[in-house]
Amino acid sequence: MPNRTRGRRPRIVFIEPAETQVRMLSTTQTAVLDSTLNAIAADPGAVKQHATASALRDYEHDGVRVIFYATALGSILIVTYVEVG
Protein backbone atom coordinates (compact mmCIF):
# COMPACT_ATOMS: atom_id res chain seq x y z
CA MET A 1 0.00 0.00 0.00
CA PRO A 2 1.40 3.43 -0.84
CA ASN A 3 2.41 5.86 1.85
CA ARG A 4 0.10 8.81 2.29
CA THR A 5 2.43 11.78 2.29
CA ARG A 6 -0.39 14.29 2.71
CA GLY A 7 -1.51 12.79 6.01
CA ARG A 8 -4.97 11.80 4.76
CA ARG A 9 -6.49 8.78 6.40
CA PRO A 10 -8.51 6.33 4.38
CA ARG A 11 -12.29 6.26 4.51
CA ILE A 12 -13.64 3.16 6.26
CA VAL A 13 -16.71 1.35 4.94
CA PHE A 14 -18.39 -1.85 6.09
CA ILE A 15 -19.89 -4.51 3.86
CA GLU A 16 -23.21 -5.99 4.97
CA PRO A 17 -22.03 -8.83 7.27
CA ALA A 18 -19.63 -6.51 9.11
CA GLU A 19 -22.27 -3.79 9.31
CA THR A 20 -24.65 -6.25 10.98
CA GLN A 21 -21.93 -7.25 13.44
CA VAL A 22 -21.32 -3.60 14.35
CA ARG A 23 -25.03 -2.95 14.95
CA MET A 24 -25.04 -5.70 17.58
CA LEU A 25 -22.20 -4.19 19.63
CA SER A 26 -22.73 -2.42 22.94
CA THR A 27 -21.74 1.22 23.38
CA THR A 28 -18.54 0.18 25.14
CA GLN A 29 -17.65 -2.31 22.40
CA THR A 30 -18.33 0.33 19.74
CA ALA A 31 -15.92 2.71 21.47
CA VAL A 32 -13.22 0.02 21.52
CA LEU A 33 -13.85 -0.74 17.84
CA ASP A 34 -13.65 2.95 16.95
CA SER A 35 -10.26 3.23 18.64
CA THR A 36 -9.08 0.12 16.80
CA LEU A 37 -10.26 1.45 13.44
CA ASN A 38 -8.35 4.69 14.08
CA ALA A 39 -5.18 2.67 14.73
CA ILE A 40 -5.70 0.66 11.55
CA ALA A 41 -6.40 3.78 9.46
CA ALA A 42 -3.19 5.40 10.71
CA ASP A 43 -1.10 2.68 9.02
CA PRO A 44 -3.12 -0.03 7.26
CA GLY A 45 -0.03 -1.34 5.49
CA ALA A 46 1.46 -2.41 8.80
CA VAL A 47 -1.39 -4.86 9.44
CA LYS A 48 -0.51 -8.48 8.68
CA GLN A 49 -1.98 -10.28 5.72
CA HIS A 50 -4.80 -12.75 6.31
CA ALA A 51 -3.61 -16.36 6.48
CA THR A 52 -5.74 -17.63 3.59
CA ALA A 53 -6.36 -14.59 1.39
CA SER A 54 -3.41 -12.34 0.61
CA ALA A 55 -5.60 -9.38 -0.42
CA LEU A 56 -7.16 -9.28 3.05
CA ARG A 57 -5.56 -7.79 6.15
CA ASP A 58 -6.24 -9.30 9.57
CA TYR A 59 -5.88 -7.11 12.68
CA GLU A 60 -6.18 -8.64 16.16
CA HIS A 61 -5.45 -6.82 19.40
CA ASP A 62 -6.95 -6.78 22.92
CA GLY A 63 -10.01 -8.84 22.03
CA VAL A 64 -10.78 -7.00 18.80
CA ARG A 65 -10.48 -8.57 15.36
CA VAL A 66 -11.03 -6.70 12.12
CA ILE A 67 -10.57 -8.19 8.66
CA PHE A 68 -10.44 -5.71 5.80
CA TYR A 69 -8.96 -4.92 2.42
CA ALA A 70 -7.90 -1.65 0.87
CA THR A 71 -8.67 -0.18 -2.53
CA ALA A 72 -5.80 0.06 -5.01
CA LEU A 73 -4.78 3.56 -3.90
CA GLY A 74 -5.46 2.84 -0.24
CA SER A 75 -8.02 5.62 0.05
CA ILE A 76 -10.80 3.29 1.21
CA LEU A 77 -10.64 0.43 3.70
CA ILE A 78 -13.42 -2.09 3.24
CA VAL A 79 -14.20 -3.98 6.46
CA THR A 80 -15.47 -7.51 5.90
CA TYR A 81 -15.50 -8.89 9.46
CA VAL A 82 -15.65 -7.41 12.97
CA GLU A 83 -15.35 -9.16 16.33
CA VAL A 84 -15.14 -7.39 19.69
CA GLY A 85 -14.74 -9.56 22.77
pLDDT single digits (tens) 25-57: 999 999 999 999 999 999 998 999 999 998 999
pLDDT category at 4 given cuts 50, 70, 90 is: very low
- 17, pLDDT greater than 70: yes
Closest CA to 68 of 44, 46, 84: 44
pTM: predicted TM-score of the whole model, two decimal places? 0.86
Angle at 22 (CA atoms; ends 18, 27), nearest 5 degrees: 165
- 74, pLDDT greater than 90: no
In degrees and rounded to multiples of 5, residue 14 shows phi and psi of -115, 135
- 3, pLDDT greater than 80: no
Amino acid identity of residue 41, one-letter, is A
